[in-house]
Amino acid sequence: DIQMTQSPSSLSASVGDRVTITCRASQSISSYLNWYQQKPGKAPKLLIYAASSLQSGVPSRFSGSGSGTDFTLTISSLQPEDFATYYCQQSYSTPRLFTFGPGTKVDIK
């Protein structure tokens, strides 16, 4: 089965900072990689699909890149509402198996 890892597991940043989160798959998943944002007490929200496509309504400061095994989520200028936990999810082995990464928590420095 495909394993997903994320780094860092947490980070502290300031408003206006450029933030990059990495997701790595244990084998190539092409571009079958999605990103979610989850705020405390709320359901996750789909941000990026197919590694780099922005979900409708998501601000353009969010971007995704990568293919194969290594992927990044970038927030170009961190806003107060962006402090949250971010999860990657592979869709290569779906529908049989749906796997989330362990998450990266972004909090205020």
Partner 1 sequence: QLQLQESGPGLVKPSETLSLTCTVSGGSISSSSYYWGWIRQPPGKGLEWIGSIYYSGSTYYNPSLKSRVTISVDTSKNQFSLKLSSVTAADTAVYYCARRVLYYYDSSGYRNKLDAFDIWGQGTMVTVSS
Binding site for partner 1 (CB under 8 A): 32, 34, 36, 38, 42-46, 49-50, 53, 55, 87, 89, 91, 94-103
Which residue, 6 or 75, has its beta carbon nearer to partner 1? 6
Which residue, 13 or 54, has its beta carbon nearer to partner 1? 54
- How many residues would you count in the chain? 109
State the nearest-atom distance from the C-beta of 44 to partner 1, in Å.
6
Sign of CA dihedral 69, 10, 94, 61: negative
**Interior angle at CA 56, CA 52 and CA 60, nearest 5:** 60
DSSP state of 55: P
State the nearest-atom distance from the C-beta of 23 to partner 1, in Å.
13
